[in-house]
Structure 1
């Protein structure tokens, strides 16, 4: 079977990010033909329409990596009831200039983690609204809002300590794989 390349965008830059751990955990649950490539977004310039005619190198790199992917996975924390600025900036860069939206037509999904009781539900809804406009075919169910009550739920390599969480994430991954295969 051919390889399916998934571009993973994690909206947290923190070294010990629980969302990065979540991204690694779901990646470990995917079949071998799915290759998860974490896309760097921490070194992007702030989007400015002035450079639409001549994109900076890092912005061109981001667009090329998104365009080279077969599918998308967004893993977001929630900052002030919305998506982090660094993630929104990456979305703006990769979808511009007008007519060159690198996300268009790709299948995707949104998941996220938080220490709060609602996981990252509001940020995910905010992100889904943006991605709908960017023409990303979004997996609707299951929604994945992981609450990190303790630091040991998922380790830095993506090993899940809780059996129930492991099963839930596997259910998500199974649905995501089917969704991506249906749209690629």
Structure 2
């Protein structure tokens, strides 16, 4: 049975480094695993007043159904103002409601922060991890996936250089090992 890994990219920019990293990671999944990108840019901000029959936005329903169908989740986050972007926080909120029906529960997670700066999205990475603890998402701890100075890690064609791809493969392999232990 194929295991589906949902991929959430917190940067909405068309040519975002986070999206490029997410695509690179998706291509490194082994046989028996499939990546599926889950759109978060079209989700209205969570408002409990809308989370009642007849008012639930179609994008919330689509998002929740797509996440119910995945077995694990990769998060790719830039850092905005020393924290995660609103796109990811809103996705966490939409997916965790209504109360008692969280689509996140027990899904193994990977957090990758990608940044043009040297700090590598450290603040975003750790703020996201705090929420994942509450959402009961076991998260790969090592190796840590901080991808800093990202503009120096791609070649002229916009592809990640070999050493970076090798690091991505190490992270992917460790995640798969982690995932397999948790889902036996």
User: Fold-level match, TM-score > 0.5?
Assistant: yes
Gapped runs of 5+ residues in structure 2? none
* Distance in 2 (alpha carbons) for counterparts of 1:73 and 1:152: 21
Residue equivalent to 1:74:
75
Distance of aligned partners of 1:77 and 1:8 in 2 relative to their CA distance in 1, 3 Å threshold? same
Give the 5 Å matches for 1:140-151: 140-147=141-148, 148-150=150-152
List structure 1 segments (4+ residues) > 4 angstroms apart after TM superposition: 153-156
Deviation digits for residues 20-69 of structure 1 (CA, Å, limit 9, x no counterpart): 00111111111021111010111111110102223221101111111110
Give the paired residue count.
180
Distance of aligned partners of 1:151 and 1:181 in 2 relative to their CA distance in 1, 3 Å threshold? closer
Let me know the Cα RMSD of the aligned residues: 1.5
SS in 2 for 1:8: strand
Give the 5 Å matches for 1:124-143: 124-143=125-144
Structure having greater relative contact order (Cα 8 Å, sep ≥ 6): 1
Give the 5 Å matches for 1:63-102: 63-102=64-103
Deviation digits for residues 107-155 of structure 1 (CA, Å, limit 9, x no counterpart): 1110021000011111000000001101101111111111213373596
* Distance in 2 (alpha carbons) for counterparts of 1:171 and 1:31: 12
What TM-score does the superposition give when structure 1 sets the normalisation length?
A: 0.93
* Distance in 1 (alpha carbons) for counterparts of 2:115 and 2:124: 10
